[in-house]
Structure 1
């Protein structure tokens, strides 16, 4: 078999990908916990790299890899890759956003149900010996209006799950047209979301125009008390606003799977104060960026990448 060169595996992947690449003639170089510095040492000998969010495939790193033919991205969001520069160099940039969209949608649904039914809060109280029924009266989702910001793979997958609850969905996507259906209303601006939404869920990439998309102006424009969900990127939400919004009642609950500075060990002192305050509040659920990391999603993303590479 002709050898096709080395591929750096710089992310957790399913065996379907590594077995398939090896069978196709690639030599695998493993470094799932790779640092940016180590990548400069390993990539010059590689024709391909499989990454997630750990590496920044910027101009400097791309220039340091003269043999590079393809970059495979586990999951969605190509912000870790200078795609335009890679294109100029003839390097294929291959994503797998549909591989984990259902996992993210189910996670967002789980957080929403936990918050509206007070599941996490009441279980914590039961573990402490409390049996509080009136204090944990839940809210039904039926008839509520959800504003989905970003209607690509994950946003549309979340809408599909919400439709089973007979909810009205306002779908806003700045870059892609949204088709109207029985329960989905496309929005050309955020004004209908500000006016009518009971729940906001973000499903947008990390880029310049989404940095702090949820800011003070956004929160002020909301006409109803609302629940906020973010399973996209931490920088989409201005975290410093959150404790005040929750304590004032403007925001009734908060579900986050992402944080502005990850992992927590790299958090600034300023955001640590905000984070420590949030995790004491009963109407908050925070998970460690695991929404798109299900067992099934790992397989689906790996399988999609393999087929697109081969």
Structure 2
């Protein structure tokens, strides 16, 4: 990576917890990092006018209020996949470039999806618990193979395409739909319509950003469009799937099992009474595998995300 020299030793404000490697990486390309992971929102507003760059992860919503004093800001980078926390319209009006490190955690997401499916298909969570309880139940825990299953992937970007590679290696037929891409069929996946996925899929895996179009995409009507009963995987954004619809699908049998890395409301101590009731029913089900939004959260991706951010920052100044 060639060293660049931003004007006037440009300062970058970092307002979330990041891997420590980010600091020397920024310094190497000529930036002055200001690492304040505990900073409060009002403090960001007050001082943001002093910086040329802003780096966030997940806690900071970047809207018109936050950017009102950002007179020098040239870029906003998100250390992770997706930019739903950032008001792109306001940023564009201010001439601020917005980007995310989508490439940084694609391997982590893909491996996590495979792991969750294998746990679900082979009853590993149930069997582990039973053995610890002194129960040795073999026939009751007979599993299923991924080989020969048809997987529908919605969203064929970094995470979707990386997941397809691993599913193909397991002998799955992968059908991929992406509203904003054409001509992307490859050795791992076949470009498909949503109707193809509705007609053929045994497993559905979501790899789409949270937008006005994808908000609450998964409803009872959506699920009932599938010809087969399906396994459902969501490692994208919780708000894409109406959790009540997932529960209804599990109860009816339309969803044979669910792998949920994300939830509509991930602040479990702040669930509404309705959300709490749905969640309590889901956690009682052996057909559901949960993880706390960690599909892209490996030790390797923590560093790789920084590397991607640095590459994208550097390109702005070349």
- When normalised by structure 1's length, the TM-score is 0.94
C-alpha distance in structure 2 between counterparts of 1:178 and 1:76, whole Å: 23
Preserved contact between residue 232 and residue 259 of structure 2 (Cα < 8 Å): yes
Residue 274 of structure 2 corresponds to: 270
How many pairs align? 309
Q: Secondary structure at the match of 1:274?
A: helix
2:106·2:158 contact (CA, 8 Å) conserved in 1?
yes
Return closer, same or farther for 1:295/1:178 CA change in 2, 3 Å cut-off: farther
**Cα shift at 1:308:** 2.1
How far apart, CA to CA, are the structure 2 residues paired with 1:180 and 1:262?
35
Could you tell me which residue of structure 1 aligns to residue 185 of structure 2? 180
* Residue 98 (str. 1) matches residue 103 (str. 2): yes
- The 1:195–1:160 alpha-carbon spacing in structure 2 relative to 1, beyond 3 Å, is same
Aligned to 2:303: 299
Runs of 5+ in structure 1 lacking a partner?
none
Can you list the C-alpha shifts for 1:231-285, whole angstroms capped at 9, x where unaligned?
A: 0000010101222221222211100111111232332222121111111111111
1:42-191 residue pairs with structure 2 within 5 A?
42-187=47-192, 189-191=193-195
State the Cα RMSD in Å: 1.8
CA offsets 1:169-226 (integer angstroms, 9 cap, x no match): 1100111125223452211x31111111000000000000101111111111111111
1:244 and 2:231 correspond: no
- Mind listing any 5+ residue stretches in structure 2 that lack a counterpart? none
The alpha-carbon distance between structure 1 residues 31 and 262, as it changes in their structure 2 partners (threshold 3 A), is farther
Checking the alignment, whether the CA contact within 8 Å between 2:218 and 2:245 is kept in structure 1 is: no
Q: Secondary structure at the match of 1:260?
A: coil
Q: TM-score, normalised by structure 2?
A: 0.92
**Residue of structure 1 equivalent to 2:264:** 260
Of 230-239 and 273-282, deviating more is 273-282
CA contact (8 A) 2:83 2:99 kept: no
Change (3 A) 1:129 1:203: same
